[in-house]
């Protein structure tokens, strides 16, 4: 949806039509829940975080200036609410729920041996992602799995796009370093040099 279309509903909410916010919830509930679930890893917790995100968005809607897309603004709230939830419950960002096999062409692999190797690679990447610092795993998740641009990630994480680029490079390097202890050289080159 276009930002202008969202703005119509935002304006209606700010004018007192609280039911117009239901349209925005319906439009973005999957996106918010998905990010929360990938970070907290438990369905019920992700639902709680998502509800908190929409409550915060509703109460802070008058602070939305339209400088970024509404979805990016909402994503930022979801990101920080998820981090707050994890800190409150003394837990780490959960990234093991990412299905990496969808990102790479596993179907094109021929033979059972290749499929087995792919499964092992996926498991190695999941385990490696779990050992990364929360900021590293989140930035990799947002860029590769949520497919946000550097500019969008910058807005979500309150960084400059250049900072995001540097952090993404460092995060990929850390992931490659972790993988170097368990993975074959071809895989390390593939993920470390992108």
Dump pLDDT digits (tens) for 74-95: 988 998 898 889 888 876 555 4
Residue 100 lies in a domain: no
Q: Is the dihedral of CA 138, 84, 150, 33 positive or negative?
A: positive
Within this chain, do residues 73 and 110 fall inside the same structural domain, yes or no?
Answer: no
Does the pLDDT value for residue 183 go beyond 60?
A: no
Q: Give the span between the Cα atoms of 182 and 188, in whole angstroms.
A: 10
Within this chain, do residues 124 and 67 fall inside the same structural domain, yes or no?
Answer: no
Average predicted confidence (pLDDT) for the chain: 77
Q: pTM of whole model > 0.75?
A: no
Within this chain, do residues 64 and 137 fall inside the same structural domain, yes or no?
Answer: no
Task: Provide mean pLDDT across the span 11-30.
Answer: 93
CATH classification at residue 64: 1.10.1740.10
What interhelical angle do 70-88 and 43-59 show, nearest 10? 130
**Greatest mean pLDDT among 20-24, 102-106, 114-118:** 20-24
Within this chain, do residues 115 and 184 fall inside the same structural domain, yes or no?
Answer: yes
Percent of the chain with pLDDT over 90: 27
With beta carbons less than 8 A apart as the criterion, state whether 132 and 164 touch: no
Domain boundary among 26, 55, 88: 88
Residues of the domain holding 169: 106-192
Does the pLDDT value for residue 168 go beyond 70?
A: yes
User: How confident is the model at residue 67, as a pLDDT?
Assistant: 80
Q: Give the span between the Cα atoms of 189 and 173, in whole angstroms.
A: 10
Does the pLDDT value for residue 25 go beyond 70?
A: yes
Q: How many distinct structural domains can be found in the chain? A: 2
Q: Give the span between the Cα atoms of 122 and 97, in whole angstroms.
A: 11
Residue 35 lies in a domain: yes
With beta carbons less than 8 A apart as the criterion, state whether 160 and 154 touch: yes
Residue 128 lies in a domain: yes
């Amino acid at each position: 949806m276009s930002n202008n279309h969202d703005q119509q509903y935002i304006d209606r909410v700010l004018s007192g039509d609280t039911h117009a916010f239901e349209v925005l919830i319906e439009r973005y509930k999957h996106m918010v829940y998905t990010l929360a679930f990938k970070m907290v890893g438990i369905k019920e917790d992700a639902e709680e975080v998502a509800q908190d995100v929409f409550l915060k968005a509703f109460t802070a809607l008058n602070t939305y200036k339209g400088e970024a897309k509404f979805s990016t603004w909402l994503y930022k709230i979801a990101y920080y609410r998820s981090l707050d939830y994890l800190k409150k419950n003394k837990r780490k960002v959960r990234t093991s729920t990412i299905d990496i096999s969808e990102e790479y062409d596993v179907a094109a692999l021929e033979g059972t041996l290749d499929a087995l190797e792919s499964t092992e690679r996926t498991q190695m990447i999941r385990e490696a992602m779990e050992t990364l610092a929360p900021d590293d795993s989140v930035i990799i998740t947002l860029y590769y799995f949520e497919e946000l641009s550097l500019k969008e990630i910058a807005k979500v994480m309150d960084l400059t796009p250049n900072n995001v680029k540097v952090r993404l490079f460092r995060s990929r390097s850390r992931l490659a370093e972790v993988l170097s202890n368990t993975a074959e050289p071809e895989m390390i080159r593939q993920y470390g040099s992108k």
